[in-house]
Structure 1
Amino acid sequence: MKPIRPPQTSFVLSPLKPRSCRSSPRLRVNPAQCRTFIRPQRPSHRAVENLNLNRMRTESYDYYVRRRAFLLCGAISGVVGICYTSYLLFQELRKPKKLDSGLPDKLDPFSTEAGSKRKTVIHDGDGTELVPTGNSTIPTFPRLLELAVGAEGAQEKVNGVEYTLVGLGVRTVSFLSIQVYMVGYYIATQDIAAIQSRLIKEINPIATTLVSNEKDELRKALLDNERGEQLWTDILREIKPRSLFRVVPVRDTDFHHLRDGFVRAITARSQSNNSVYGDEAFGAAMKEFRNLFNRGKVPKKQEMLLVRDAAGRLTITFNDGKTGMGTLGRVSEERVSRLLWLNYLAGSKVASEPARKNIVEGLMEFVERPVGTVESQVV
Structure 2
Amino acid sequence: MLRQTTLRRATCSPTTAARLRTQAPHRTIFSRRDERMRRSSSRAVENIDIRRMTQQAQDWHRNRTIFLWSGAIAGVISAIYTAWKIKVVLDNPVKADSNLPSSDPLASPNAADRKVVIHDQDGREIVPTGNSTVPTFPHTLDLPAYTAPITPTEVPTSPVDPITTQQTITAPNGSTTEYTLVGLGLRTVTFLGLQVYVVGYYIATADIAALQNALTKKINPIATTLVPAEREELRAALLDPTEGERAWEELLAAGIPARSAFRVVPVRDTDFHHLRDGFVRAIQARAPPTPPGADNEAFGQAMRQFRGIFSRGSVPKRRELLLVRDETGRLSITYDAGNKKTEAAQPGGRQLIGVVEDERVSRALWLNYLAGKKVASEPARQNIVEGIMGYVERPVGTVAAQVVPVVNSRL
The normalised TM-score by structure 1 is 0.68
Structure 1 letter corresponding to 2:387: G
Structure 2 counterpart of 1:45 = none
1:138 to 91, 111, 134: 134
Structure 1 counterpart of 2:380 = 355
1:326 to 351, 354, 370: 351
1:216 to 216, 232, 249: 232
Mark the CA change 1:290 to 1:266 in structure 2 (over 3 Å): closer, same or farther: same
Q: Secondary structure at the match of 1:136?
A: coil
Structure 1 letter corresponding to 2:401: S
Matches within 5 A, 1:1-379: 103-105=104-106, 114-150=110-146, 158-240=174-256, 241-270=258-287, 273=289, 279-322=296-339, 324-378=349-403, 379=405
Q: Is the 8 A contact 1:106 1:117 kept in 2?
A: no
Q: Which has the higher helix share?
A: 2
User: What is the CA–CA distance in structure 1 between the aligned matches of 2:126 and 2:229, rounded to whole Å?
Assistant: 31
Deviation of 1:269 after TM superposition, in Å, equals 1.9
Which one is further off, 276-285 or 117-126?
A: 276-285
Deviation of 1:151 after TM superposition, in Å, equals 7.7
Structure 2 letter corresponding to 1:119: K
Deviation of 1:233 after TM superposition, in Å, equals 1.0
Deviation of 1:275 after TM superposition, in Å, equals 5.0
Q: Which runs of 5+ in 2 are unaligned?
A: 1-95, 149-171, 341-348, 406-411
**Structure 1, residues 195-247: CA drift from partner, whole Å, max 9, x if none?**
00000000000000000000000000000111111111111111342000000
User: What is the CA–CA distance in structure 2 between the aligned matches of 1:289 and 1:150, rounded to whole Å?
Assistant: 16
Mark the CA change 1:326 to 1:150 in structure 2 (over 3 Å): closer, same or farther: closer
Mark the CA change 1:145 to 1:132 in structure 2 (over 3 Å): closer, same or farther: same
RMSD: 2.4
Higher relative contact order (CA 8 A, sep 6+): 2
Q: Which runs of 5+ in 1 are unaligned?
A: 1-97, 108-112
User: What is the CA–CA distance in structure 1 between the aligned matches of 2:296 and 2:309, rounded to whole Å?
Assistant: 21
Deviation of 1:115 after TM superposition, in Å, equals 4.9
Q: Secondary structure at the match of 1:219?
A: helix
Deviation of 1:103 after TM superposition, in Å, equals 4.0
Deviation of 1:175 after TM superposition, in Å, equals 0.2
Deviation of 1:114 after TM superposition, in Å, equals 3.5
Deviation of 1:125 after TM superposition, in Å, equals 1.1
Mark the CA change 1:106 to 1:305 in structure 2 (over 3 Å): closer, same or farther: farther
Q: Is the 8 A contact 1:150 1:161 kept in 2?
A: no
The normalised TM-score by structure 2 is 0.63
Q: Secondary structure at the match of 2:254?
A: helix
Which one is further off, 142-151 or 196-205?
A: 142-151
Mark the CA change 1:148 to 1:274 in structure 2 (over 3 Å): closer, same or farther: closer
Mark the CA change 1:230 to 1:151 in structure 2 (over 3 Å): closer, same or farther: same
Deviation of 1:126 after TM superposition, in Å, equals 1.1
